[in-house]
Amino acid sequence: MKKQSRSARIGLTLTSFSLICSGLCCIVDEYILAQLSSNILGNPAQQWPIVIGLMLFATGVGAWMAQFVKEERTLQAFISIELLLSFLGGYSPLIIMWAYAYTFAHFKLVFYSISFIIGLLIGFEQPLIATINKKFVGFRSNISMTISLDVLGAAIGTFIWIKFLIGKVEIYHAAFMVTLLNLSVALLTYYFLVRYGPEELKTSRRTFIGIGLAAVLGVCGLFFSADLADVAEQELYTGKIIHKESTPYQRVVMTEHPKTGDVMMYLNGGLQFCSKDENRYHENLVHPNLKLRSLTNTASAPLDILVLGGGDGMAVREIRKYKNIKSITLVELDPAITELATQHPKLLELNDSSLIGSNIHILKPELPESEKEIPIYSELKHRDADGNKLYYIMDTVSVLHEDAYTFVEQIAQQGKKYDAIFIDFPDPRNESLGKLYSKYFFTRIRLLLKSGGFVSIQASSPVHANHAYICVGKTMTAAGLDVLPYHDNIPSFNEWGWYLAARQEDQFNLHLLAERLYTLEQFDVPTSYLTPKKFFSNTIFGKDILLNAEDIEISTLSNPRVYYYYVHYGWKVL
């Protein structure tokens, strides 16, 4: 009786532990595959529900299939399921990455098949555990215990994912950590239930050999997964990967082409810039805005500048060429981007160390040594009228790591205003980004503009994302802004578009102001590509680009049409 009581206690403890681990591994496996899908295919608003929904469906199928397992084979089946989960769950990110790199045409079939099979195996677990558990507790207690402990495990898994895994552990390592937990459950189940469990739950020693082999594969995967992932990930890029990391917000990869030396940055697989033509993009974003402001404002008071996005520092690089800058506030959600911009040699070279510095001064070499000793300064890319090199230092770039939507709302409530605003967000490829192109958001942007101020925003391609591009302009107009659309060819991105906007109450004729630029030869500061004449030509579109603008709806928080247009009418976003 004593042995039986001890056996019951051990069995109950073990099945409780197994149920918690089952829920934990289930939810983390779902998060891993959903995150991996988002990193590769982008559009997390679609990929997360697709992956999790598919796996939940497969879990239901697995739970239904578990009824056909004979009761005397329950323990053997449970341990086998754990071993299969440990192998497939651990190696699934590597298999998926290799499939994407080497069998692109069949990638989705591989990815969703693996997701379904893992969900199927997870579905098998709970009924098998419940079958084992009913040897120790009554029917009603068994059902309540199965559901409650599984949910508890899912809650613990969610906490671990948010607090310790996402953005802190490579997704490949996270998968093998779950693998080791599955293996632990299999090993403990084998040892304790074979030793203390009822006779009908006994299993063969061959199972122990299987556990040992799975453990070897799991440990090897944990140690060598990074190398295997590097090989597969490198196949996705033409340039050599010089930096990569997973942050809580995105997958960041930087590459350098071995022949041309071009540096590229990718976020979740999408190209953000290429060093050979980023100047075309950033000069179009910055200089028309500040030039039009100088044409419409005769006062020479120093300017307060707001930059939303643009954590790579290249928009700030162009802004800092101007002498009349009082302050620059940069709002970037992901600290990893600004960290790269202030530490990585390639980015420091591209952005001229624009995010490093103190109070703005222009220094000449012949100035007294005491002035040259100001701690941080950088050489400008141009000279003064006498041919002397110019240096600047700036202390007024305030970098804030927070959500731009929240920041704009808070600052608007405080009544803070800026002379110029530059918006450099990613394309509205998901609903979370879509809110940054909503009427509500643009209304708050208008409140942040001083009288006579301008806002510039990148708005995707007027050719390849035509509906979304028009939607951005119409939404800004509905928010009380007059807009001037313009476009240019960025070789790395094809045809690209922006909007320059001013408050409607300022009653600027933006097209007439753009025409005034046509008479000018250069901007007030050096540029490597853009001229005032070129900008004026950029405001001219072919008649087919804005042809059906009246049919395009504006984008709101409750109805993010810009996201819908981008996904369904623009580039194919998977």
Instruction: Return the number of other C-beta atoms located less than 10 Å from residue 163's C-beta.
Output: 9
Distance CA 513, CA 293 (A): 10
Ramachandran area for residue 567 (φ above 0: left; ψ -120 to 50: alpha; else beta):
alpha
Distance CA 143, CA 36 (A): 34
> Coil, strand, or helix at residue 178?
helix
* Count, residues in the chain: 574
Rg (CA), the chain: 29
Tokens 């001890």 appear where? 6
Residue type for position 348: L
Catalytic residue among 312, 334, 419, 424: 424
The sheet with strand 251-256 has its strands ordered as 240-246, 251-256, 263-267, 270-274
For residue 423, the cross-strand partners are 308, 457
Residue 356 carries which DSSP code?
A: S
CA 164 to chain centre: 18
Task: Assess whether 403 carries a catalytic annotation.
Answer: no
> Coil, strand, or helix at residue 358?
coil
Q: Dihedral angle at the C-alpha atoms of 59, 64, 65, 66, nearest 10 degrees? A: 90
Which among 4, 9, 23 has a CA at the least distance from the CA of 129?
A: 23
Distance CA 78, CA 83 (A): 9
Looking at the annotation, which residues are catalytic?
424
